[in-house]
Chains A and B, each alone.
Chain A
Amino acid sequence: MSPLRTLATAGRVLTQIRHDPRTIGLLLVVPSLLIGLVAWLFDDTDVFPQIGPAMLGLFPFIVMFLVTSIATLRERRSGTLERLLTLPIGRLDFILGYALAFALLAIAQAGIAVSFAVLVCGLEIDGSVWLLMVVALADAVLGSTLGLLASAFARTEFQVVQFMPAIVFPQVLLGGVLIPRDQMPDVLYAISNWLPLSHAIDALNAVARDDEDAGYVGAQLLVILTFAVGSVVLGSLTLRRRTP
């Protein structure tokens, strides 16, 4: 592993994205637009204050998952990854470089989404807005690291796009947005405890309502971080220098 090569890779990925302003625009704006849509949809009800915080986790998570998994799949498919792995770069350098680049984008994305939800949509946050941003950021990073891992198991664009319903949707369904997690059937509740997005949504709700202590939020963040680190390590282990 070498910090220099990790940074060179992150810089390269960001330069590639910089040449694609439309992707940057979509990446930064779409989650906020969706949050705005949800707020508008429930304008005359008291639903948005309840599910709004969860939306700050959901949309960046989904967007980052998709963008990262497709970006790395493209690298695998174009032959540049094969060439790259003949050079003195560690597999972890490669994956970390991608994770770092998308984490930087996630900072901007989470900042915009939280600001938009609070300032424009009027989402009331009882706890610290900064802590909320940190959780939303952790969540976007989780999305991109899971995307890195998922792309390792995809051979084609068709497959990688279908990881979205396979990996992301169950987490959304069981995350406690449709129905509070403690009201789910026992088996599903137990499963949801093992899904990282559940912990992300729990943390966002806890900060928004300010009904848990900092230790609780810290523990949820730790779970998210563990999943993110685990995905990066697993993702680098699945990279093969030799292919059939």
Chain B
Amino acid sequence: MAVSSSSAVRIERLIVRRGATTVLDGLDLRIPRGGIVGLLGPSGCGKTTLMRSIVGVQRVASGRVTVLGMPAGSAPLRRRVGYVTQAASVYDDLTVRQNLRYVARILGAPASDVDRVIAATDLAAHTGTLAGDLSGGQRSRVSLAAALLGSPELLVLDEPTVGLDPVLRVELWSLFRRLADRGVTLLVSSHVMDEARRCDRLLLMRHGAMVADATPSALLRRTRTRDIESAFLRLIERAGGS
């Protein structure tokens, strides 16, 4: 009990199958509370499936996923875990504010919370715009803003910075950092390796398995490389395979 409540996420022998393919094959993972954890790996390696399992929307074949001390997907977690899907899940025929107000009502969050997340995601200039008329980057920020409503303890963000301009990306990472400093745990997936340096811990994933779980500096030291991309390649070489 002591172990599980000090972890944000604890996964034991998780197996997920999709049709005939085994996406995750006996995966073990522990994510401590607080901080930014980067989930890196090529597309198709199982990042999204892992995140869906943590949020509790993925049907799993076997294994145990414990989130904030409870089985993933339990009802109390629905206010404690925020989830941003890879494709922005927003109502295109609602304005930015209407989208956020609806989610706030479902969460029972106060109306002032809507203004807070609009400011945090730099959407103040677009509150009256239909989400369908926004750019791709703006839509994904609405999706992110919705996940920030109700101040969840764990944020699961599936590629939240895709398609954003560099300035905005830096701003979002500083937002992630402020949240982490307040004790929030963030699991952020990305296939942009240069974002890895901003994380407190890195999970490198390949073919449905964890290749590494370390701090960025420890990873560079251990692989004697200068950047995460080379570290990733070195680890795969060492594992002896393609």
Contacts and interface: CB of A to CB of B under 8 A. Distances in A.
A79 B89 contact: yes
A204 to B, nearest CB: 34
Contacts of A88: 75, 78-79, 106-108
B106 A87 contact: yes
Interface string B90-112: 11111000100011011110000
Interface residues of B, number: 32
Contact of A89 (B73, B81, B88, B106): B106
B106 A86 contact: no
Contact of A12 (B88, B98, B107, B130): B98
B31 interface: no
Contacts of A188: none
Interface of B: 18-19, 55-59, 73, 75, 78-79, 81, 83, 85, 87-94, 98, 102-103, 105-108, 130, 143, 146
B85 A242 contact: no
Given A86-B81, A88-B79, A88-B106, A15 B89 contact: no
Contacts of A242: 56-59, 73
Contact of B57 (A5, A12, A82, A89): A82
Given A16-B91, A244-B59, A82 B78 contact: no
Contacts, number: 75
Interface in A66-90: 78-80, 82-89
Interface residues of A, number: 25
Contact of B94 (A5, A8, A19, A243): A19
Contacts of B87: 79
Contacts of A9: 102, 106
A24 interface: no
A83 B89 contact: yes
A16 B94 contact: yes
Nearest to A19: B93
A241 interface: yes
A15 B94 contact: yes
Closest 9 CB pairs of A and B: A8-B105, A83-B89, A79-B89, A88-B78, A12-B102, A16-B93, A242-B59, A19-B93, A80-B89
A5 B108 CA distance: 9
B186 to A, nearest CB: 16
